Amino acid sequence: MSVSNLLKVSDTRRVSPTRKGITPCGVTKIKVASVGFFYIQGSDYLNIITVEHLNKIFKTKVKKEGFRQSVRSILRPQYKTVKAVSDIGFSVQKGEMLAFIGPNGAGKSTTIKMLTGILYPTSGTIDVLGMNPVNDRMKLSFRIGSVFGQKSQLWFHLPPGDSFKLLGSIFEIPARELRKRISFLRELFEIEDLMDIPVRKLSLGQRIRCEIAGSLLHRPDIIFLDEPTIGLDVVVKQKIRDLVKRLNREEDVTIFLTSHDVGDIEQLCKRAIIINNGEIVLDESIKKIKYNYLKKKVIDVKYSENIDLKLDIPSMTIVKAKDYSAKIEVDISSGTIEEAVDKLMRVGSVMDINISDQPLEEIISDIYQGLCNP
């Protein structure tokens, strides 16, 4: 983050509430100096999120069906503990786009919620932008944005424009600044035409765009996206991804993303943390994941005649074979590509052949299941 950027941020939010009428020069500098330690500290930070030994245990009352069981659960409640997150640690650098992935119930949302101050950790330490989300929840919320796919911060019966104004006042953004910001985001997210339509009448894709725009009003340093593309069609998904990419590039926003959609992850993130059963299974760059965990290649082959494909090499398995074409998986830990291609060439006259990596989606699901070891 450049110094001029820092100044801009500070004169909109950081400086004490008497900030009215501050010009970007002179006075602001003094103001910044007075809260300067904060920024010097902040900008020196390479890691803007640091998590160590984080645990979250949920204690739920166990209640069985039926009246007698209800009475018993009041008199002598039985508890069951569920370890949602157990002893995880990681860090995120400024400007990074990080994918936080895992199967349902792995602890993704629980972790995000602890990072944003929604949930109290059972134990462990969290540092986000130099703050502890539990103690500095309000202070922190000025500097982070979040979109939870299913939970809306927009008002259902009102147009997004009205909700934006309300959010502006909740986040204490000066009126003039807010107007500028809204008109910028309106253009960026192509939601000019939606501003006056009640949210209940918007499509899911339109709503999500407004939702993300709304979470950016206060120029957050980090944005948490929890399943932002869930339920969207391919075109809209792509649009959202492009927007997120642009945001990261232009405003240097750190992106913390959870998604089931590997497309989101592949296109946006350079690094992924994979979590399963509350534990971090893997924390690596996407490139490395592909490199280290890639055990299979996929060969698509097309013949000029109808063939009856039979393979006697154990490292090769037929995924699909029909008439002229076939799809074969090659386990490169037990066999070689050379051997496989050679075998396929000998079956018939090959018209076309294409060798590709196993899709990331499968790699990840193999990692979840512990099928893969580097």
Partner 1 sequence: MLMEARKYLRLIKDYFLLNLSAAMEYRASFIIQVLGMALNNAFFLFFWWIVFNNTGNIGNYSFRHVMTIWAIASSAFGAAFILFGNTRNISNLIVQGELDVYLLQPKNVLINVICSRSSAASWGDLLYGFIVFFAVYGFNPGKLMLFTLFVVSGALFITSMLIIAHSFTFRMGNSSNIANAVLEFLISFSIYPEDIFKGYIKFIIYSVLPAGFITFFPLRIMNEFKPVMLLALLLINTAYFITAFIIFYRGLKKYESGNLITTRM
Cβ closest to partner 1, residue 221 vs residue 329 = 221
Q: Is 105 in the site for partner 1 (CB under 8 A)?
A: yes
The partner residues of 50 in beta bridges, in order of sequence, read 91, 127
What's the min distance (Å) between Cβ of 343 and partner 1? Answer: 47
Q: Which of 20, 76, 151, 176 binds partner 1 (CB under 8 A)?
A: 151
> Contacting partner 1 (CB under 8 A), which of 39, 100, 142, 189?
142
Q: Pick from 1, 22, 158, 355: which binds partner 1 (CB under 8 A)?
A: 158
Q: Does 75 bind partner 1 (CB under 8 A)?
A: no
Paired tokens of 162: 């009205």
The span from the CA of 82 to the CA of 258, in Å, is 21
Which segment (89-97, 155-163, 202-210, 293-301) binds partner 1 by CB under 8 A? 155-163
Quick check: 366 and 293 in contact, CB under 8 A? yes
Contact 297, 363 (CB under 8 A): no
Q: Note whether 111 binds partner 1 by CB under 8 A.
A: no
Three-class SS of residue 310?
Answer: coil
Residue 118: CB minimum distance to partner 1, A: 4
**Beta-carbon contacts of residue 340 (< 8 Å; ≥ 6 apart):** 297, 299, 313, 315, 316, 328, 330
Shortest spacing between CB 83 and partner 1, in angstroms: 10
Say whether residue 128 binds partner 1 (CB under 8 A): no
Tokens for 94?
A: 């400024």
Contact between 176 and partner 1 per CB under 8 A: no
Query: How many amino acids of this chain bind partner 1 (CB under 8 A)?
Result: 37
DSSP string, 138-189: HHHHTTEEEEETTB--S-TTS-HHHHHHHHHHHTT--HHHHHHHHHHHHHHT
Positions touching partner 1 (CB under 8 A) are: 17, 58, 60-61, 82, 84, 105, 109-110, 113, 116-120, 137-139, 141-142, 144, 146, 148, 151-153, 155, 157-158, 162, 165-166, 169-172, 198
